[in-house]
Amino acid sequence: MSALVLVSPLAGWSTPLEEVPDPVFAGRMLGDGVAIDPLGSTLYAPCEGEVVLLPETRHAITLRTAQGLEVLMHLGIDTVGLGGEGFEALVALGQPVRTGDALIRFDLDLLARRARSVLTPILLVGGEGTLARRVQSCAVTVGDVLMEWTPGSAAADGAAARAGAGGTRGRTVRVALEHGIHARPAAQVVAAIKGLGAEVSLHVGGRQADARSAVALMTLGVRGGGQVEIRAAGPDAAAALDAVEAVLSAAEPATVSSMPSSASATAPASSPRVQLEPLRPGTVLRGVVASRGFAIGRAAVLRVREIALEEAGAGFEHEARELDRAQVLVRAALEQARIGAVEPAAEVIEAHLALLADPHLQSRALHCIGQGKSAGYAWRAAIRESVQALRALDDARMAERADDLTDLERQVLIALAGEQAPSVPALPSGAILIAQELLPSQLVGLDAERLAGICLAAGGATSHVSILAAAAGIPALVALGPTVIEIVEDTALILDAEAGELCVDPGERRVEAARARMTRNAERRARERQAAQRECRMADGTRIDVLANLGSMADAEAAMRNGAEGCGLLRTEFLFLERRQAPSEAEQRDEYQRIARALAGKPLTIRTLDIGGDKPIDYLPLPEEENPALGLRGVRTSLWRVDLLDEQLRAVLAVEPVEQCRILLPMITDVVELRAVRARIVEASRQVGRAAPIELGVMIETPASALIADVLAREADFFSIGTNDLTQYTLAMDRGHPQLAARLDALHPAVLRLIARTAEAAHGRGRRVAVCGGLASDPAAAPILIGLGVRELSCVPAAIPGVKALIGELTLEQCKRRAREALEQESADAVRALSPAPAAATGEPASAGA
């Protein structure tokens, strides 16, 4: 292949690219070359070629040369925004041109006034060769030699500069790394020569790779024990040889692979996966119980779906910038994950950060963008090209690296698309869903009939997806850690969401024992369920109301089957999760009415919309918030969008019979919020022609509301304690945080003291006090809550028979004693140690249904 000489296409001043006020050009993301500060108004062809790109806006043009090289000329910076004004194309797309032909006439004055800069980058994109010479920091006229490119080396001019004087040195080394040059050592090689003034390459079997590209190094396919020649040129050549040799001849420290799963692009802080081997039969993983129960099933792993991509791009500038933006996001997510990560995970993250910055991937992607493709399409093409090369090596370890690249592909594509999470798959029957994490909207999209259980690598026990699982009677474990994602599709599993264990590929004997346990549980549950139809009284006759938490009509039916004495919390936001727009007033009224009917006259506590935090809703986009859990949530959102609140209030007030419903307000922090809603209820009642008053209660789920419970009790008709949020805000631990999941325990004495204070304030004013958070369904908590003065528990429907059976065995005196002891303990664990969960109150097998 012949060399290529480019002449200056403009008269003006030739400038180094670094001076261009745009990181895309200055960082050589599109290609290498120079920039010209133009004096004339016509752009000429710097070489022979064909016009392969000429956007409608005429602000740039690309020629393809016989050497397969593309020459991109971009007139000014940010000039796409001129929409073609001031530019006139003198050639057409596909037209062959000769050196010196006029290409574009432009209005230099207009550019000077309207563009960010008139500097015009002249770039070489793609092609296997070296930018051997460039003329810069001097005046040029049209036709002066500007650059010279020679074929052969993949390295760019920066490399040539690094090589400089001193000749090339070489050294042959044996690769001691057990698994050859895979992702991590490749990244280590890149890191080892960073900052050294040397051009370094590795050579094996007639193939070579730039040592600054981890991808190129991996695609060499060098195995452990193999020989490789290191070549280095430039002032630091000797140091570079030593550095590379040190990496390649070191023994492999640990067996690690892989990068954070693609889902972690949407949850940056989650840990990377580090497991390589398929899990051994009988492996037991431990997690945090999010929904009690027991199930036998087969793994259905939530794979991330293929992201749809537009092939055509919207121009170089735009697409390159988009790619950069997405990579910055992914890099930030990885860097975030690196904080606090321990080995070997931390090292893996490092390796993948290096992959993200890999010059080979980068230049392939930008080359593809240069051919008119979108950023996503180009990124995918660049990754898949490398993936193919790795897979072609027919080496299992390298194929794993290919999976890593595919993960990285997804992370960037997700960031590009601004996506939040993968969609859900169709499930086989008896499926135990394995996923990194799950959104409430994804869970409701799954076929509950086929779902025997849920196991999440991340998540928290009181996150809303856990609540939904519990409501549906689906056993669930969260915070199982990244290993769970390694479970192979269709593996047999035993999920013990009582003990917090997941047994992988348990073997026939264990499955038999599990089946027998499920049968025993089912029989006990059937007995309890029958008894649960009676009203709940303690052994000494004290009346305790056991109600249900509902999020759907199906929950209402399950609640009635399980002996609920009404509904203590209807999470109205769950009724309308799968929608694109807010439900109308009439739709809401119909839904509330249906649920009221299903409860056959028993009390129905309707909570106003609790949107925000971990319950985003498509049709109510909230402003971008730094910390949504501390932002627009619950009643704050309702008072921000009073139009939605008013509609909801009218819908509730219209339900018949009028005395069946109560209204409950979430996230109250002061009495002013309560008053504001009460005033709107008065107005809404007038509008629907309702004369009867309605009970208005507040949730005690912020420390503030618990601390001023005495003030709130003057105006609220009842209290319902939301222990999920109360715990989150008291302990300052995110309820969805996987690492904190095990510590986020509502039996923490600090939370219990707030409950005690609330109950005392309620009794002082003769107000009812209920608990509707997850603690109400926890058998270990029932005696303590009753002892603290709570007389109403609102539980997940499936837990009601067990809770009622347990309460029937307790006396008030016992409970008061237990409560006093609990308040004095120093930790949640110590409180739990006071009252091991009685067998009677454990959940039922998933297969038995709720």
Indicate whether 772 belongs to the interface with ligand PEP (CB under 6 A): yes
Task: Tell me the residue number closest to Mg ion, measured at CB.
Answer: 725
Binders of Mg ion in range 705-734 (CB under 5 A): 722, 725
The residue type found at 522 is A
744: Cα separation from own chain's centroid: 21
Whole-number minimum distance, CB 643 to ligand PEP, in Å?
22
- Contact region for ligand PEP (CB under 6 A) — 362-370, 394-402, 442-450, 722-730? 722-730
Whole-number minimum distance, CB 450 to Mg ion, in Å?
29
Whole-number minimum distance, CB 736 to ligand PEP, in Å?
11
Instruction: Quote the tokens at residue 293.
Output: 């129960």
224: Cα separation from own chain's centroid: 36
Tokens 């490119």 found at: 149
- Contact region for ligand PEP (CB under 6 A) — 152-160, 234-242, 344-352, 719-727? 719-727
List the single partner that 571 binds among Mg ion, ligand PEP, none, CB under 5 to 8 Å by kind.
ligand PEP
Which residues are identified as catalytic?
Answer: 464, 772
Instruction: Quote the tokens at residue 127.
Output: 């092609």
157 membership: H or E segment, kind and range:
helix 157-163
Q: Which of 409, 437, 505, 610 contacts ligand PEP by CB under 6 A?
A: 610
Using CB under 5 A as the binding criterion, the count of chain residues that bind Mg ion stands at: 3
Whole-number minimum distance, CB 547 to ligand PEP, in Å?
12
List the single partner that 731 binds among Mg ion, ligand PEP, none, CB under 5 to 8 Å by kind.
none
Instruction: Quote the tokens at residue 591.
Output: 């839904």
Q: Which is nearer to Mg ion, 648 or 705 (CB)?
A: 705
Round to whole Å and give the CA distance between 812 and 783. 8
Whole-number minimum distance, CB 776 to Mg ion, in Å?
13
Q: Residues 567-606 vs ligand PEP: string with x where CB under 6 A? A: --x-x-----------------------------------
Q: How far apart are the first and last CA of the chain?
A: 73
Binders of Mg ion in range 369-388 (CB under 5 A): none
Whole-number minimum distance, CB 250 to Mg ion, in Å?
52
Using CB under 6 A as the binding criterion, the count of chain residues that bind ligand PEP stands at: 11
Q: Which of 14, 201, 572, 724 contacts ligand PEP by CB under 6 A?
A: 724
Round to whole Å and give the CA distance between 649 and 680. 8
Round to whole Å and give the CA distance between 418 and 406. 18
Q: Which is nearer to ligand PEP, 289 or 415 (CB)?
A: 289
- Count of residues in the chain: 850
CA-based torsion, 496, 500, 502, 503: positive or negative: negative
Residue 27 sits at φ, ψ, to 5 deg, of: -85, 5
Q: Which of 9, 482, 568, 722 contacts ligand PEP by CB under 6 A?
A: 722
Q: Which is nearer to ligand PEP, 380 or 571 (CB)?
A: 571
Round to whole Å and give the CA distance between 427 and 447. 7
List the single partner that 783 binds among ligand PEP, Mg ion, none, CB under 5 to 8 Å by kind.
none
List Cα–Cα distances, 186 to 225, 244, 333, 358, in angstroms: 16, 10, 22, 11
Contacts of 123 (CB under 8 A, 6+ apart): 17, 25, 30, 31, 32, 33, 71, 72, 73, 74
Q: Which is nearer to ligand PEP, 475 or 773 (CB)?
A: 773
Whole-number minimum distance, CB 459 to Mg ion, in Å?
16
For residue 359, give the DSSP letter. Answer: H
List the single partner that 467 binds among ligand PEP, Mg ion, none, CB under 5 to 8 Å by kind.
ligand PEP
- Please give the angle made by the CA atoms of 88, 93 and 99, to the nearest 5 degrees: 80
Whole-number minimum distance, CB 839 to ligand PEP, in Å?
26
Q: Biggest alpha carbon distance in the chain?
A: 103
285 membership: H or E segment, kind and range:
strand 284-286
For residue 482, give the DSSP letter. Answer: G
Whole-number minimum distance, CB 481 to Mg ion, in Å?
26
Q: Which is nearer to ligand PEP, 77 or 611 (CB)?
A: 611
Whole-number minimum distance, CB 813 to Mg ion, in Å?
32
List Cα–Cα distances, 516 to 297, 519, 841, in angstroms: 15, 5, 18
CA-based torsion, 466, 468, 473, 474: positive or negative: negative
Q: Which is nearer to ligand PEP, 45 or 800 (CB)?
A: 800
Whole-number minimum distance, CB 725 to ligand PEP, in Å?
3
Whole-number minimum distance, CB 645 to ligand PEP, in Å?
17
Q: Which is nearer to Mg ion, 382 or 733 (CB)?
A: 733
Q: Which is nearer to ligand PEP, 484 or 575 (CB)?
A: 575
Residue 201 sits at φ, ψ, to 5 deg, of: -140, 155
Helices 800-807 and 508-531 cross at an angle (nearest 10°) of: 60
List the single partner that 180 binds among ligand PEP, Mg ion, none, CB under 5 to 8 Å by kind.
none
Binders of ligand PEP in range 672-701 (CB under 6 A): 701
- Contact region for ligand PEP (CB under 6 A) — 414-422, 490-498, 539-547, 721-729? 721-729
171 with 243: CB under 8 angstroms? no
- Contact region for ligand PEP (CB under 6 A) — 59-67, 279-287, 717-725, 749-757? 717-725
List Cα–Cα distances, 597 to 123, 188, 592, 691, in angstroms: 72, 66, 9, 21
Instruction: Quote the tokens at residue 511.
Output: 């499955």
Round to whole Å and give the CA distance between 569 and 546. 12
- Contact region for ligand PEP (CB under 6 A) — 7-15, 140-148, 400-408, 716-724? 716-724
Is the previous residue joined to 235 through a cis bond, with omega within 30 degrees of 0? Answer: no
Q: Which is nearer to ligand PEP, 204 or 569 (CB)?
A: 569
Total Cβ atoms within 10 A of residue 306 = 10
Indicate whether 669 belongs to the interface with ligand PEP (CB under 6 A): no
Indicate whether 725 belongs to the interface with ligand PEP (CB under 6 A): yes
- Strands 4-7, 70-74: pairing kind: unpaired
For residue 29, give the DSSP letter. Answer: S
Q: Which is nearer to ligand PEP, 214 or 755 (CB)?
A: 755
Q: Which is nearer to Mg ion, 476 or 668 (CB)?
A: 668
Q: Which is nearer to ligand PEP, 347 or 610 (CB)?
A: 610
Binders of ligand PEP in range 419-478 (CB under 6 A): 467
Indicate whether 778 belongs to the interface with ligand PEP (CB under 6 A): no
> What burial class does residue 667 get, using C-beta atoms within 10 Å of its C-beta: 0-12 exposed, 13-18 middle, 19+ buried?
buried
Indicate whether 797 belongs to the interface with Mg ion (CB under 5 A): no
Binders of Mg ion in range 679-708 (CB under 5 A): 701
- Contact region for ligand PEP (CB under 6 A) — 216-224, 718-726, 806-814, 818-826? 718-726
CA-based torsion, 238, 240, 244, 247: positive or negative: positive
Residues that bind Mg ion (CB under 5 A): 701, 722, 725
Give the residues lining the site for ligand PEP (CB under 6 A).
Answer: 467, 569, 571, 610, 701, 722-725, 772-773
